[in-house]
Amino acid sequence: MYNRGNGRNVMLQAFHWNLVKTKGTGTVDGRKESWYQILAGMVDEIADAGFTIVYMPPPWIDDSHWESNGKHGGGEGYFWRDFDLDSRYGTKKQLIELISKLHEKNIKVIIDLVTNHRDGARMQKDIWPYPGNSWAMGIRDTGGTFMDGKYDLNIEDPAVHERFGAALTELMDECGVDGWRWDYVWGYEVNDVVALIKDTAKTEYFSVGEYWQDSPNMKNDPMVERYGADEGARILGWARESCGCAFDIILKRAINSADPANLKKGLNLRADAEERSSVVTFVDNHDMGGSPACPANDWGQRCWPCPPHFKSKAYAFILTMPGTPCIYWPDHFDWGLGEEIKKLIGIRKKAGIVSSSGWIDLTAKHTGFAGIVLNSEGKEALAVSVGSDYTGPGNGWEKAAEKSGEYTVWIKS
């Protein structure tokens, strides 16, 4: 059974890298409210924007800390120490209250799970002897190592698997979580994900993995072993084997080229409907994009950011095309693209575009990107021109959105 939602979802990544850093306009430092409480006060706004899934940060306590060249970080959840739900983002009680409010608006919630590694130096409650069978240590690891691999986990160890299973059950049964975002999935076998999903009593609504590894030479990558050099085949293979989705890294590469003609290379425009429905499309995220600036960490990670001048074009593309689109919090709520994104979400829903929608390729006849998208019934419903000389489908269509010199969207009258 696939964990891919209903095909009509639009996701919001409700955090960024600098959120729990020191000061800055986008941090919670110095505020009386936690991030969970701040989000709870914005539920109406989130619902009004058209989001149907909210993707939350890692929920477990993280006391890690690093310093380098006058900057510092840590505490984001990606180097957690125990399965303690009182994190820097808020308390377990506040998380439950937030999810309850989102559910009242028919919004699902998925949680970022960091299962490949943890902080082995600060364990206080969930103590696994180190070194020992619970740790990969480069020997029992079923996938690639995180950094030096020192604190990678052996997820197939019964003690680790059972404790993860209990933690996921707590999130679903006690907190109301509806699914997962799996971090760093080339670090372990996909069967470990499937096993954990099967162990939960409730059925996950949506699940998406971060398979971000473009080298075909990684001998410790399970997907390379099975699918070889084709990065797209590895991403789609992970989604198929996990029965969930994977982020469309191929499309992200095309977006970063800032060339509209490259957009058709995304996995979301593959010929097979199941493949289109198995990817989550995005423009930026906490790792790849920037974050609202703070003294502690400047403008965030920015490992692989979308060129700023191409962001509107990229959002127009992912919000009108197949796949499940995911919007990065700062782009919508901090950097002035909110109204534009909200309008595009409304157009997507009105046209009846779904994650598996078919499309008609018009790029051979025009510059940039141009196409017509079909609705859930297979009927022509929406046309889009991104950086293209395409002027629209003609009679029977009306212009729904336009940003001069960047994109135009038409909808069937």
SS (H, E, C) 225-282: HHHCCCHHHHHHHHHHHHCCEEECHHHHHHHHCCCHHHHHHCHHHCCCHHHHHCEEEE
313 or 24, greater pLDDT: 313
pLDDT at 1: 76
Residue 290 predicted with pLDDT over 80: yes
Average pLDDT of every residue of the chain: 96
Residues of the chain above pLDDT 70, percent: 100
Residue 300 predicted with pLDDT over 80: yes
Helix (H, G, I), strand (E, B) or coil at 117: strand
Distance, CA of 55 to CA of 110 (rounded, Å)? 5
What are φ and ψ of residue 369, in 5° steps?
Answer: -120, 135
- Assigned CATH topology for domain 11-356: TIM Barrel (3.20.20)
Residue 58 predicted with pLDDT over 90: yes
Strand 369-374 to strand 108-113: parallel, antiparallel, or no bridges (unpaired)?
unpaired
Question: Which whole number is the average pLDDT over 117-142?
Answer: 92
Residues with catalytic roles:
183, 210
67 by Cβ neighbours in 10 Å (0-12 / 13-18 / 19+) ranks as exposed
Q: How confident is the model at residue 295 (pLDDT cuts 50, 70, 90)?
A: very high
Q: pTM score, two decimals? A: 0.98
CB contact set of 78 (below 8 Å; sequence gap of 6+): 58, 62, 114, 183
Is the CB of residue 397 less than 8 Å from the CB of residue 412?
Answer: yes
Question: Which whole number is the average pLDDT over 217-237?
Answer: 96
pLDDT at 139: 73
Distance, CA of 252 to CA of 281 (rounded, Å)? 8
> Looking up tokens 């075909």, which residue turns up?
216
Question: Which whole number is the average pLDDT over 279-307?
Answer: 97
311 to 50, 256, 269, 322: CA distances (angstroms)? 19, 9, 19, 18
Residue 29 predicted with pLDDT over 80: yes
Largest CA distance in the chain: 70
Q: How confident is the model at residue 71 (pLDDT cuts 50, 70, 90)?
A: confident
269, 209, 257, 254: which is closest to 234 by C-alpha? 209
pLDDT at 403: 98
For the segment 152-190, what is each residue's pLDDT rounded down to a tens digit?
Answer: 999 999 999 999 999 999 999 999 999 999 999 999 999
The total of other beta-carbon atoms located within 10 Å of residue 110's CB is 24
244, 233, 223, 224: which is closest to 181 by C-alpha? 244
pLDDT at 25: 84
Helix (H, G, I), strand (E, B) or coil at 365: helix
For residue 307, give the DSSP letter.
P
Question: Which whole number is the average pLDDT over 22-49?
Answer: 95
pLDDT at 318: 99
pLDDT at 22: 87
